[in-house]
C-alpha cells in the first residue's frame, strides 16, 4: 500500500503541476515533442491515466533516447530525452522534494547561483490556484548568472583578495551514485516508496545509448536532474560556509577567493576528501590556484545583452540604447521593463554601421587564425577568443534580423565562409553558428563545404545533426538527391544523424509524392522509436489537419 506521502507526490494536482513544469522548462533539446503532442491531444484523460498507473503500481519507466554532445576538449557528454510520462514522474518527485527542502536551500542563496529554486516552488500544488502562474521550476538563469558574475567581480575588486581557486567535478552528472542521492534524500525524510521508485527510474535512465550503468548517473537534460545535482553538493556548500570561505558555485563550476594561498590549498584538500566520500572527484585538469588579475578583461561578463551601444540623436539629446538579444522566457518581468525599444527605421544607418564593424572584426579573426592546425587552434586555448567570436556572431544575427525586417536586407554571402570556419573551430558551439546560416535562403554554392564538414565531424553526431539543419539549403531537390539522402539514412548508424536527414525529407514532403512513399518505407524500418515518433510529429506539424493516429497508420 502506498504511503500518504507517495499519494501526495503523485496526486492528480501534483501530476498536472509536473506536466506544466516539464512544458515550461527551458531545455528544448531534451524534450519528447511527439509524446507531448500525443499527451496534449487528450490531456485530462492522459494525466488521469498516469496518476492511476502510479497509484496501482503499474507504471514502469522506459529506456530513453540518448545522444552525444561534444565538449571543448573533444570528449562528449551524454544528453537524455525522457519520454513524456517519465519526464512527468521525474518532475513530480523533484517538485515534492523541492517543496519540502525549499527553506533549507534558501540558506545558501549567497553562495549558489545555478539552478536555484523559484520561490513559487514552496507553494506546492497551491500554485495552481494563483490567477497568474509562473511554472518555471528555477529562478531565471539570466539574473542568476549575472549575480554569480557580479559577486565574483566585486570580490576581485577587493584589494585584500590575492588568489583564486577554480575547479569543477569530473563528469558530474554521469558519476553521481544513486545510493548517494538516495541517502541525501533520506536525510529529508522522503518516503521510502518514493525513493524506491526514483532508484528504479534512475537505473532505467542511466548510462549511454550503448549501455546502462546500473546504480550510477542521472540523466543530463531534464530540469529535475539539475535540482538533484544541487542537492548532492549542498553539503559541500555548507562546508564552505562553515569554514568562512569566499565561495561561489554555479552548478559544478566552483570559485574560491582568499588573501592566502595556503588557505586555498587547504580548501582544495578538504573539498577533494568531501567529494570522494560521495564517490565524486575533482577534475584535476580544470583545477588551478592562481593570482587574481584585476583588469576589466579578466572579469566575468554579464549575460543580459549583446553589448552594442547605439547613440540616437533626438532633439539634440544623446540616448544610449542597448540592442538586446536574449531568451525572453528567461528575462524576469522587472528586467524586461528595462529593455528599451529602438525606432528601427530611424536607426537604420546605425544598424549598417554596426554590422560593418562586426563583420570586419570577424574577417580579421578569420584571416589571423584560418591557417592554424585545427588540433592546435587558438580557439582551443583562448577562451576569450571563443567568447569574442560567439558574441560577434550573436550580434550579427540580431542586427541582420532587424535589417531583414525593416530593409529587406540580403545577408552578405561572404560571411558564409566565416560561419563555416567558426563551426570547424568552435564545433562544441556549432548550433550558435548554424543559427546564423539560417538567414540565407540559398546555400547551393556551398554544398561541397558542407559535405566536407559533415565528413570531418563523422565522430561527432551532434555536430553533424546541427549541420544537417541547414544542409537542405545546399541541395537541388531532384530524384537523384532524394535517393542519395535515402541511402545515407539506410547506412547511417547514428539515430541523431538519421533524424537530421529525415528532417530534410520532411521539409520537402508533398501529398502523394515519392518522398512521402520513401519516408513511409524508411520510418517503418527505423529501429529507434524516438526517431520514428519525432518524424511523425514533424509531418503532423507540416500537415496540421492530419491526426497523429492517421499518420501512425500510414507510416507505421
Collapsing DSSP to helix, strand or coil, 291 comes out as strand
- Count other Cβ atoms within 10 Å, centred on residue 72: 13
| 551 CB-near residues (< 8 Å, 6+ apart) | 536, 539, 540
Task: Judge contact between 364 and 402, C-beta under 8 A.
Answer: no
Which of these, 353, 493, 366, 348, lies nearest to 420 by C-alpha position?
366
pTM higher than the cut 0.75: yes
Quote the pLDDT of residue 188: 96
State residue 343's pLDDT score.
63
Angle at 440 between CA 439 and CA 446, to 5 degrees: 135
> Within the chain, which residues score under 50 in pLDDT?
297-298, 304-340, 511-512
Q: Are 403 and 355 within 8 A, CB to CB?
A: yes
Cell numbers placing 421 = 570556419
pLDDT in tens, 142-153: 788 888 888 988
pLDDT of residue 336: 43
Record the cell numbers describing residue 17, joined without a space: 503541476
Rounded CA-CA distance 394/326 in Å is 10
Q: What are phi and psi of 496, to 5 degrees?
A: -70, -40
DSSP 212: -
Amino acid at each position: 500500500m502506498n504511503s500518504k506521502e507517495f499519494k501526495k507526490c503523485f496526486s492528480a494536482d501534483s501530476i498536472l503541476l509536473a506536466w506544466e513544469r516539464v512544458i515550461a522548462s527551458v531545455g528544448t533539446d531534451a524534450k519528447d515533442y511527439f509524446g507531448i503532442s500525443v499527451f496534449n491531444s487528450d490531456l485530462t484523460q492522459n494525466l488521469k491515466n498516469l496518476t492511476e498507473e502510479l497509484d496501482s503500481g503499474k507504471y514502469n519507466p522506459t529506456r530513453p533516447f540518448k545522444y552525444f554532445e561534444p565538449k571543448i576538449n573533444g570528449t562528449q557528454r551524454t544528453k537524455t530525452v525522457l519520454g513524456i510520462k517519465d519526464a512527468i514522474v521525474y518532475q513530480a518527485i523533484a517538485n515534492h522534494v523541492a517543496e519540502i527542502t525549499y527553506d533549507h536551500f534558501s540558506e545558501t542563496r549567497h553562495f549558489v547561483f545555478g539552478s536555484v529554486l523559484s520561490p513559487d516552488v514552496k507553494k506546492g500544488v497551491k500554485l495552481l490556484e494563483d490567477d497568474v502562474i509562473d511554472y518555471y521550476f528555477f529562478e531565471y538563469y539570466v539574473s542568476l548568472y549575472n549575480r554569480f558574475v557580479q559577486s565574483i567581480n566585486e570580490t576581485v575588486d577587493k584589494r585584500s583578495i590575492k588568489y583564486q581557486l577554480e575547479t569543477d567535478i569530473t563528469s558530474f552528472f554521469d558519476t553521481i551514485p544513486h545510493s548517494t542521492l538516495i541517502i541525501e534524500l533520506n536525510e529529508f525524510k522522503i518516503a521510502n516508496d518514493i525513493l524506491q521508485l526514483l532508484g528504479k527510474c534512475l537505473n532505467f535512465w542511466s548510462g549511454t545509448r550503448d549501455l546502462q550503468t546500473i546504480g550510477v548517473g542521472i540523466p543530463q537534460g531534464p530540469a529535475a536532474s539539475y535540482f538533484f545535482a544541487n542537492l548532492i553538493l549542498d553539503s559541500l556548500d555548507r562546508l564552505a560556509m562553515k569554514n568562512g570561505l569566499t565561495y561561489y558555485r554555479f552548478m559544478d563550476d566552483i570559485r574560491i577567493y582568499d588573501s592566502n594561498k595556503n588557505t586555498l590549498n587547504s580548501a582544495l584538500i578538504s573539498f577533494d576528501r568531501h567529494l570522494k566520500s560521495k564517490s565524486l572527484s575533482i577534475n584535476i585538469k580544470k583545477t588551478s590556484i592562481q593570482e587574481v588579475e584585476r583588469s576589466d578583461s579578466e572579469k566575468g561578463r554579464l549575460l543580459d545583452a549583446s553589448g552594442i551601444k547605439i547613440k540616437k540623436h533626438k532633439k539634440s539629446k544623446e540616448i544610449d540604447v542597448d540592442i538586446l538579444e536574449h531568451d525572453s522566457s528567461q528575462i524576469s518581468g522587472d528586467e524586461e521593463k528595462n529593455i528599451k525599444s529602438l525606432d528601427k527605421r530611424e536607426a537604420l544607418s546605425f544598424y549598417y554601421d554596426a554590422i560593418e564593424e562586426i563583420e570586419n572584426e570577424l574577417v580579421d579573426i578569420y584571416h589571423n587564425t584560418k591557417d592554424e592546425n585545427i588540433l592546435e587552434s587558438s580557439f582551443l586555448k583562448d577562451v576569450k577568443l571563443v567568447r569574442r567570436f560567439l558574441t560577434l556572431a550573436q550580434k550579427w544575427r540580431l542586427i541582420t534580423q532587424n535589417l531583414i525586417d525593416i530593409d529587406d536586407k540580403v545577408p552578405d554571402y561572404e560571411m558564409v565562409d566565416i560561419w563555416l570556419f567558426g563551426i570547424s573551430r568552435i564545433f562544441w558551439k556549432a548550433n550558435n553558428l548554424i543559427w546564423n546560416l539560417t538567414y540565407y535562403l540559398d546555400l547551393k554554392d556551398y554544398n561541397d563545404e558542407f559535405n566536407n564538414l559533415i565528413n570531418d565531424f563523422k565522430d561527432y553526431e551532434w555536430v553533424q545533426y546541427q549541420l544537417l539543419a541547414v544542409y537542405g539549403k545546399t541541395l537541388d531537390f531532384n530524384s537523384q538527391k532524394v535517393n542519395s539522402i535515402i541511402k545515407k539514412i539506410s547506412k547511417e548508424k547514428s539515430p541523431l544523424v538519421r533524424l537530421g536527414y529525415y528532417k530534410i525529407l520532411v521539409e520537402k514532403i508533398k501529398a502523394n509524392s515519392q518522398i512521402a512513399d520513401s519516408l513511409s518505407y524508411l520510418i517503418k524500418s527505423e529501429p529507434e522509436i524516438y526517431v520514428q515518433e519525432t518524424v511523425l510529429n514533424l509531418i503532423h506539424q507540416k500537415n496540421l489537419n492530419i491526426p497523429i493516429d492517421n499518420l501512425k497508420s500510414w507510416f507505421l
